[in-house]
Amino acid sequence: MKNFKLILSGLSAFATMITVNPSFGEVESKTYYGIQIEEAEARFGDEGERLFVWNGDAYYGTDELKLRFLSGGEADTDTGLLEKLESQLVLQTPISDFFDAKAGVRADTPEGTDRIYGVIGISGLAPQWIEVDADFFVSETGDTSARLDLEYELLLTNELILTSAADINFAFSEDTEIGIGSGLSSAEAGLRLSYDLLDRSISPYIGVSYERQYGDTKDYAIEDGEDAEAWAFLIGSKFSY
């Protein structure tokens, strides 16, 4: 709990710094807002699993400072159970021409045990136009972890796009209550072929994904009767407003 209080103090200092920085007041910036749904899909697993998966965010602010709400999760369409549900509320500000810094709070509220985390991270474009999202988390119990998200879009035509993505999760300490072991805990890779309609407002897609758990996290999953790795066929759509 002490570590969590320290990270919250750091988040408060971050918010104070970016709001009093003179550069944010020198030029009146236009306010933007919108919603982006990067994934809204049905997943059909190789063992007969059927899931609905979503991942997206809403934002409000200027080029200098944005407030973002991010949501992602998985629901079993047969049982209706929320296997994963993650929400984040973060402030985001530029630190270079291609990268933003962000800080805020994350809440995991699935059907099982809840967790609250402090979040700090960066997001932006790396060389070769790879989208990067790197986050560091400190939970209310003092456990630390990190996540790296990578995404690359290959334009086959102006409308037809092949998107490759990878999510890698690493835990610096064990949290046995939620089945997370230290070290590399899980990874997921996916390919999605989308077609842009209505100026990218709607982009239906099909694809495949592969996810796997590692180390003690894998052992915990097997003990709970879960699969440690899985393939899935995807069908869904992206939306932006």
Mean pLDDT calculated for residue range 73-85: 93
Task: Tell me which residue range forms the domain holding 216.
Answer: 2-20+40-240
CATH number at residue 120: 2.40.160.40
Say which DSSP state 175 is in: B
The whole-chain average pLDDT of the chain stands at 90
Please provide residue 16's backbone torsions phi and psi, each rounded to the nearest 5 degrees.
-65, -40
Q: Residue 199's pLDDT is what?
A: 79
Domain annotation covers residue 228: yes
Domain annotation covers residue 120: yes
Q: Residue 234's pLDDT is what?
A: 97
pLDDT in tens, 85-138: 999 999 999 999 999 999 999 999 998 899 999 999 999 999 999 999 999 999
Nearest 5 degrees, angle CA 60-CA 235-CA 76?
85
Domain annotation covers residue 68: yes
Percent of the chain with pLDDT strictly greater than 90: 80
Domain annotation covers residue 206: yes
Q: Find the range with the poorest average confidence among 18-32, 145-159, 160-174.
A: 18-32
Domain annotation covers residue 65: yes
Q: Which helix (H) or strand (E) holds 11?
A: helix 2-20
How many structural domains is the chain composed of? 1
CB 89 within 8 A of CB 66: no
pLDDT in tens, 195-216: 999 877 999 999 999 999 999 9
Residue 179: which of 87, 84, 71, 49 has the closest Cα? 84
Beta strands 160-171; 32-45: pairing state: unpaired
Its pTM stands at 0.85
Domain annotation covers residue 129: yes
Domain annotation covers residue 207: yes
Q: Residue 54's pLDDT is what?
A: 97
Q: Residue 28's pLDDT is what?
A: 58
Q: Assign residue 233 a region (left: φ > 0; alpha: ψ between -120 and 50; beta: otherwise).
A: beta
